[in-house]
Chains A and B, each alone.
Chain A
Amino acid sequence: MNDDAYEGARLDKSDVVLKTTGLEKAFGGLVATDSVSIEVQRGTITGMIGPNGAGKSTLFNLISGFYENDAGHVTVNGEDVTDLEPHERARKGLVRTFQTPRRLEGMSVREAMLVGPGPQKGESIFSLFFSGSDVTEEERANIEQTRELLERFEIGHLIDQPSTDLSGGQMKLVELARAFTTNPDILLLDEPVAGVNPTLANDIKRFIRELNEEGQTFLIIEHDMPFIMDLADPIIVLDQGKVLMEGSPDEVRSDDRVIEAYLGGAGP
């Protein structure tokens, strides 16, 4: 595909939560992210698709700060966060989940959930000794929120389970619920239904949509086409580290360049 085919993302949105300008990252000679500029509008579920190796996960790592970029900027709510550490970006409202969540060994689901809210008073040793009652109050509220959220996600019965005993799909649900407890401005989900059975995948879709209707903004990487086409609008298509195009699911579906990218340059 020649370079003219790369139309890039739409950069004229209003009320932008997350914006990248000219993000670049190379691993040795391989350019994994090539001048990527995207915008995510508040209140949307923005999808991100692309063939394997298109650079989706690298872009997520750059946005969330786990990789250092070679060039470009990331802004959250208009504030430049390019130089911030991952945890600082999270506190600015940019929270991500991982493609393959590691199990939290030795933790119950309740504990695993309670790590989410933050920063908590009880995370300071000083407060543990000198303002114990504040810690108690906050902890009670967080436990209550955990219970409600798990019930809402229809996994309330798992609250006492060791988190290592959960199925892949249940783990993804817990991850989603936990990420939500951080009260993020934008949630980046990395393949939320990879390896999840269809019933649970439908549940996850329903919960994401519900949270979105309440105002939560999402940016979602997903390989499952029916899932993402049904859920997201707009959808950004990445190919070979660049933004190929952005559009509604229908536009993406009928775009020749997208088809070509997925089928691997079969056309003339």
Chain B
Amino acid sequence: MSAVSSWVSETLVRDATERRIFATLGLITVLLVVGVLTGVIGPRFLLFQIALVGMYALLSLGLNVQWGYAGLINFSVAAFWGIGAYCAALLTAPNSPLGLGLHPVFGFLAAIVVSAFIAVLIGIPTLRLREDYLAIASLGLAEVIRAIILNEDQWTAGSSGISGIPELLSWLPLTDAATTAAVVVFLIAVVYLFLRRVHRSPWGRVLRTIRSDEDLAKALGKNTYQFKMQAFVIGSVIMAIAGAFYAHLNLYIDPSDLVPLTTFYIWIAVILGGTGSNRGAVVGAAVVIAIREGTRFLNDIGFIQTLGVDLAPLRLLFVGGLIILIMRFRQDGLLPPKDELIWPAARDGSGAGGASASGAAPDGGTSSNGGDDR
């Protein structure tokens, strides 16, 4: 246990404020466990929520690669998510219009290939131009994808949606909810480790430079178009994986979730968590979903019932209020990026890459400890 806590404090927690944030998260976890043990919260419900949070965390990680690393403004998060979900649903559900009933692995593979292809298609005309062009084109793409899925019923079953999507790994000796939760944790771990490796590297450094000053990166001989394309494709593929997972979580998919609101929840999660930070993306997603799902039950609390106010419809208001608070008191998000983007193995005793030691700062000051950037 102490090994785990020391790993947490060394690799995750960087200053006192972050310690408080993680302590709060820990407390919430404990409360949830207590809630399950005392029977207030059904374990099946909780596991489903974990899977949902995990899916949003994946989406946030994907957007973080695009916006957080490279500064690409992508408003078609929901579209790439939908592409992933529909690839999985169409290939695996026996009663989908394609009627193939393939193994879920093929759904995930198709999600990866199709999303990468569409990302390249949209990237070719826009990534050479100023950043706003991608923003505009991606807004359009989101609507185009939604309209296609909604109207081409012979391929996509249109607004009636696709049901009968098989569960993942149903042979595992776990309940279905526990299995999906385990799958999403596995997916997040894989994506997180992949991103951690590519981000703290010369590759991640070039993206960070492009985000601040693309002309400078060009003047230093970096093919910024190619770097932006890579970031865009990686982010989009991660979103599609999240979508494919969702199809197997919800077992039913229709176009109603492909709305801009889904995209903006993810943007909120990334900004809230700390733009450019993988840790932040995961935590931000958890916070946004906790508020969105948690506030459903506000009206069931006795104290609020006595007020005679219907609070549940005000969920979006709570999300908005939280963002204002965060932006006021912690501008860079809950867990802003702290790492110097230097290949970890190349940091050594010669003083390079002091960031790894910066967790020791007792007062959360950033100016004094080496290697910390804000």
Contact = CB atoms under 8 A, between A and B. Distances in A.
A114 B202 CA distance: 8
Given A87-B222, A95-B219, A136-B345, A107 B208 contact: yes
A135 B202 contact: yes
Interface residues of A, number: 52
Interface string A36-49: 00000000000000
A120 interface: yes
Given A105-B212, A122-B203, A140 B346 contact: yes
A96 B219 contact: yes
B198 interface: yes
Nearest to B276: A106
A19 interface: no
Contacts, number: 147
Nearest to A86: B218
A143 B346 contact: yes
Interface in B281-340: 337, 340
B212 A111 contact: no
A115 B217 contact: yes
Given A98-B215, A125-B203, A136 B220 contact: no
Contacts of A108: 340, 371-373
Contact of B201 (A107, A118, A122, A162): A122
Given A118-B221, A125-B230, A128-B197, A139 B346 contact: yes
B97 interface: no
Interface in A85-112: 85-88, 90-91, 95-98, 101-108, 110-112
A124 interface: yes
B221 A139 contact: no
Contact of B373 (A86, A101, A162): A162
Given A96-B219, A143-B352, A107 B342 contact: no
Interface of B: 197-198, 201-203, 205-206, 208-209, 211-213, 215-224, 227, 230, 276, 337, 340-343, 345-346, 348, 350-354, 367, 370-374
Given A95-B219, A106-B212, A111-B342, 17 more contacts: A87-B218, A87-B224, A91-B221, A98-B219, A105-B211, A110-B342, A114-B205, A115-B217, A116-B220, A118-B220, A118-B222, A125-B203, A128-B201, A139-B343, A143-B342, A160-B371, A182-B221
